[in-house]
Structure 1
Amino acid sequence: MSGRSSVAGGPADHHGLGGLADAGAFLARLTRLDSAAVVRLRSADSGRTELWARLPWSVLVQRTVAGPGPGDVTVSAAELLGCLAAGDPGMPAGRDGNWRWALPSGPARTVESVPVDDLRRVAAAAAGTLRAAETQGVGGRAVGQRALRDALLDHVAIVVTADDGPARRIEVRQAMVQAVVRMGFLGNASGSAVVRVRIVGSWVALEAPFGVAWIQRVNTLALSPMIVHPNG
């Protein structure tokens, strides 16, 4: 999906963002992970704007910030971050053609809530597994760092059974957990705070306090450690 719309939001030559701190935090994290990333701004209801981006490990991330936005425009994340830092209300040059990914559509349904502290433990355990594999190998054999990271991201971190009709196994990969952690979507939340596992169509989402990670491909791999929730 790509393109530019002036149906909602402000002029396409102004970013129209009011939540500059929130948008800046999203863009700063994104550009640290991928300096060449693009970000898609989509004006939403109630004078707010959705920021969308794709991480290098094929997870879509979304954060909604204050401000009517420019309609529907894709730009360089680094260039937009520069505009915000300089207090410039203008938009960088459009890069709509660089957006090549579908977005989830329709209202998502929550199938499970996972305590934030549990998600942090899963992320920490994955990091520990990676460190151990890098130093000790796997089964006594050395494995390349990239192969290790790819395998870890593909592992299933959370399994949920959806109860809408025939039971469906919903798998949340470590890639999504790492997305919400590394994009700062958990913030300082702890205690009773939760991350919601949500679904719409073929999409699975992790909705954290400060953003959402989305993925369309559902994997069948197994992970240890793993959180299993029997019902949504």
Structure 2
Amino acid sequence: MTGPAAGHGLDGVADAGAFLARLVRLDPATLVRLRPVPGVGRTALWARLPWGVLVVRTVTGTAPGDVTVAAVELLAELSAGGAALPRRRDDGWRWPLPPPASRAVESLAAEDVRRIAAAAAGALREAATHGVAGRAVGQRALRDALLDHVAVVVTPDDAPDAPVEVPQRLVQGLVRMGFVGTGDVRVRVAGRWVGLVGPYGAAWSRKVAELSLTPTITHPNG
């Protein structure tokens, strides 16, 4: 679809602008999907980060339906105080969303989440500078291996035979998007999806089917 025709409907301009600004810094060409939350006067803003994680922040105001636009164009409109919906790019959104219903399986302290993210960034810098076991490794290969690393394993009380694995890419998504506040971060599961939910937004990814690296932290309690 191409025609603007309607306004964006967002009232939480500051919250939406902060979300969009971080998205654009990570990927200037990224899309944002606006999905009204029925009955509460709020809209969920969805986007996909360059490393394959979906992120979402919910803001006040009701978008004119389920629409997708360029993040940079919506940010420019909000920054200018405008109310127009940028040109729709619905055909550009190609990713499924997690189911709306989810269950919490663990809470992580905010400082632990930040520490995990900082340690990963330090490991990447160290490997890029000195190599791995004395051998040089490409930056892309290092990044992909780091993002696939399972940072946390949770064993829910109600499903001890089905551990929940939280990959580093989820941790990085939550931290890089500024979703970690001072409270706890909740690990949630929705079907085949795993999410990290902070005070200011959430990051979601599909469950990791096969592991190539050993987890660094285990949380035995659900």
1:231 — aligned with what? Answer: 221
Cα deviation 1:80-107 (Å, max 9, x = unaligned): 0010001110001100000001111131
1:200 — aligned with what? Answer: 190
Whether the aligned pair in 1 keeps the contact of 2:165 and 2:207 (CA below 8 Å) is: no
- Indicate whether 1:221 and 2:212 are aligned: yes
Amino acid at match of 1:32: R
Distance 1:29 1:129 in 2: 23
Q: Secondary structure at the match of 2:163?
A: strand
1:20 — aligned with what? Answer: 13
Per-residue deviation at 1:71? 1.4
Cα deviation 1:118-163 (Å, max 9, x = unaligned): 0111011101111110111000001111111111001001100123
- Indicate whether 1:115 and 2:109 are aligned: yes
2:141 — aligned with what? Answer: 147
1:7 — aligned with what? Answer: none
Q: Secondary structure at the match of 1:16?
A: coil
- The Cα RMSD (Å) is 1.5
Distance 2:126 2:25 in 1: 25
Distance 1:210 1:62 in 2: 9
Q: TM-score when scaled to structure 1?
A: 0.90
1:62 — aligned with what? Answer: 56
| Residues 12, 206 of structure 1: alpha-carbon distance in 2 compared, 3 angstrom cutoff | farther
Gap regions ≥5 residues in structure 2: none
Whether the aligned pair in 2 keeps the contact of 1:161 and 1:168 (CA below 8 Å) is: yes
Whether the aligned pair in 2 keeps the contact of 1:12 and 1:70 (CA below 8 Å) is: no
Amino acid at match of 2:84: G
Q: TM-score when scaled to structure 2?
A: 0.94
Amino acid at match of 1:86: A
Q: Secondary structure at the match of 2:6?
A: coil
1:169 — aligned with what? Answer: 163
Amino acid at match of 1:18: D
Distance 1:167 1:12 in 2: 52
Q: Secondary structure at the match of 1:178?
A: helix
Q: Secondary structure at the match of 2:94?
A: coil
Distance 1:71 1:140 in 2: 54
Distance 2:5 2:190 in 1: 30
Distance 1:55 1:162 in 2: 28
Whether the aligned pair in 2 keeps the contact of 1:12 and 1:73 (CA below 8 Å) is: no
Whether the aligned pair in 2 keeps the contact of 1:39 and 1:77 (CA below 8 Å) is: yes
Per-residue deviation at 1:12? 6.3
| Residues 114, 165 of structure 1: alpha-carbon distance in 2 compared, 3 angstrom cutoff | closer
Matched residue count? 218
Per-residue deviation at 1:167? 2.1
Cα deviation 1:27-61 (Å, max 9, x = unaligned): 00001111100000000031000000000100000
Distance 2:159 2:20 in 1: 40
Per-residue deviation at 1:227? 2.1
Q: Indicate the percent of aligned positions where both proteins have the same amino acid.
A: 61
Per-residue deviation at 1:68? 1.3
Gap regions ≥5 residues in structure 1: 4-10
2:24 — aligned with what? Answer: 31
